Amino acid sequence: MNELEHQQSLRPRHQLTLAHAWAGMIVMLFATNGLLCHVAVAGNLVLTMNTDRSTVTDGTVRVGDVAKIEGGSTTDRRLIARLDLDAIHDGEPCLVSQRQVNTRLLLAGFSRDEFQVIGASATSVVSASPGHQSKQISSIIESQLGQQFGIDAKRIDIRLENQTQLESFVNQFEISTRTISLAPRNDFPIGRTRLQLQCIAKGTTQTSIPHQVWLDATVGLSMRVAVAKEPISRGVNITDSMFQIVDRTMTSRADFVDANSVAGRAASRYIAPGTILLANHLITTQTATQPIVRRNDLIDVVIRAGAGEIRLKNARAMEPGRAGDTIEVLNPKSGKRFNAEVVSANLATVAPAWQRSIVR
């Protein structure tokens, strides 16, 4: 074989060797999960482990969930933040140590002299789906609302249904009893309302000035109410067999009658079966007792406001009433009429039955 033929026989093998070399270099650029593997670092990387509990929403704990990443290039920081560390079940906490983070970065191709992990030796992480986080927030508010009005929190049901508000809230604020505080209220909210909260932002200390946040909510209160079991005609005296007392979660304001005072009173109108009895469904059974408040009498009206009360003086009674009767009263300042319950000859209260049941 002459020299020329020998060189031609070597050329394809040489080209194949170069092709394999390029292919090997390309393969080295990609990690197992399809992420670009680390080749060069622009500056030292510092990972500071979180001191507070971290929360994830998709069941996977990543480096960015447990540590603050500084230094290096933007590409490196994004790559490290996405590195997975562990799987976690909803509501179950786990601990992630500095050692785990160190090992994960080494597996991703970073050398020991290119990064350092500082801060807490281990960080607690809990997985919480959006639904679970909503329940956590509701539970905290229910407890604090119950404390404000002296009500068992188990009787309160708060539903947060504005998903846009919830997502923004979860991204900005820590979810704990230490960082969420319900602003004091003058009256107990029932139904659709806006709740004012004072919250501490993520990454700040307990001494930081809290943020004012409003969340749309539907508030329900479990109370004992009287429900008609059968049709009740107008003027019929109600007996125990005609109604039942049940626990219902109410989400609207109404002047619910005291369930323990229904028997012996007469219906002021026709009452259909299944109707929750209100004060205006009943009239007081006729007796020889004379009204203690007469039409046009000037009386004081006590309005409950949270733990305190407001007194409206010189309100005008628009109809007569005995103790315990609900009568119409005129506000002398606004000219508006409202219902109040007669307490004595010169005193009434606007506290409806649902609010009286709270106090008991």
- Tens of pLDDT along 83-141? 999 888 766 788 899 999 999 999 988 988 899 999 999 988 887 677 778 888 999 99
DSSP code string of 8-71: HHHHHHHHHHHHHHHHHHHHHTB-TTSPBPP---SS-EEEEE-SSPEEESSSEEEHHHHEEEEE
| φ/ψ bin of 359: left (φ > 0), alpha (ψ from -120 to 50), beta (otherwise) | alpha
For residue 166, give the nearest of 141, 191, 145 by alpha carbon: 141
pLDDT confidence of residue 206:
60
pLDDT at res. 41: 39
Domains along the chain with CATH numbers: 45-127 (2.60.480.10), 130-218 (no CATH), 223-283 (3.90.1210.10), 298-359 (2.30.30)
8 φ, ψ (degrees, to nearest 5): -65, -35
249 in Cβ contact with 220 (< 8 Å): yes
Task: With beta carbons less than 8 A apart as the criterion, state whether 256 and 250 touch.
Answer: yes
One DSSP character per residue, 273-303 reads TTPBPBGGGEEPPP-SPPPSB-TT-EEEEEE
> Which amino acid is it at 274?
G
**Stated pTM of the model:** 0.52
pLDDT of 308 reads: 65
Whole-number Cα distances in Å, 133 to 128, 217, 309: 6, 15, 36
* Phi, psi at 203, each rounded to 5°: 80, 5
Q: Are strands 115-119 and 45-49 parallel, antiparallel or unpaired?
A: parallel
What letter would DSSP give residue 304?
Answer: E
DSSP state of 258: P
- Tens digit of pLDDT at every position of the chain (360 positions): 445 444 444 444 333 333 444 444 444 444 334 343 443 333 489 999 988 877 777 778 899 889 999 998 888 999 999 999 988 876 678 889 999 999 999 998 898 889 999 999 998 888 767 777 888 899 999 999 999 988 899 999 999 989 899 888 988 888 888 889 999 988 889 999 999 999 988 766 666 788 999 999 999 999 999 999 999 999 898 999 999 999 999 998 888 888 888 888 899 999 999 999 998 899 865 444 678 899 899 999 988 765 567 888 899 999 988 888 889 999 888 888 888 889 888 899 886 544 544 433
For residue 308, give every residue at least 6 positions away whose Cβ sits within 8 Å of its Cβ, in sequence order, or none: none
The per-residue pLDDT for 215 is: 95
